[in-house]
Amino acid sequence: MNVDLESWEPLPVDEVAEVLADAPFRWWICGGHALELRVGARWRHHDDMDVGMCRREAPAVHRWLVEWDLWVAAGGVLSAWDGRPLKVEADENNVWARRNSQQPWAFDLTVNQCTEDGWVYRRDPSVIRPWQAAVLEDPSGIPYLAPELQLLFKSKHLRPKDHDDARRVIPAMGDQGRVWLSYHLDADHPWQDIIRSPDGV
């Protein structure tokens, strides 16, 4: 069976929304696409499509996508996903999806810690954000991860595109989001200057 790691043709955001329309579980666009949904503009190429899901809802996700070819990506290895629970201790934090074994990968389900009431930051479970603040909607109703949460993920292992994203997105965030992000970043993080003077970026 073909498990090529390189062949990606990410679905556009609107097609992901069609696939998951009326799904009986919580989902949201994340990664760079989420930041673009917040700003309402696109500024760079994306090699993949990230879609958030809750670990606790994995069985429902598998049932909804049962006709897709689904593989757990963990430790640099892909293994076919039959709907079994996805283990935190095994770093089973991603499920790659494609329509069938002959097609390129279409999106990456990023597996999140969640409670009934909110989103939990996987790197620090003490950081919890209520759902109404964690997942927002664009004007067409597509859910996406709040920019302060996405930037917090991006803040740890900085790449040039992450800096570019921050410069474009932080000025578009509300005061509450900027305050929250500033609190959760190190005091000397380079994005603190952008947060303090977003209009000067």
Domain residue extents for the chain: 1-145, 147-201
pLDDT of residue 46: 87
The overall pTM is greater than 0.75: yes
pLDDT of residue 36: 96
Region 1-145: CATH code: 3.30.460
Place of tokens 């909110």: 118
Strands (E), the chain: 27-30, 50-54, 69-74, 77-80, 94-98, 107-114, 118-120, 128-130, 135-137, 143-145
Q: Which residues of the chain have pLDDT under 50?
A: 1
pLDDT of residue 200: 54
pLDDT of residue 3: 66
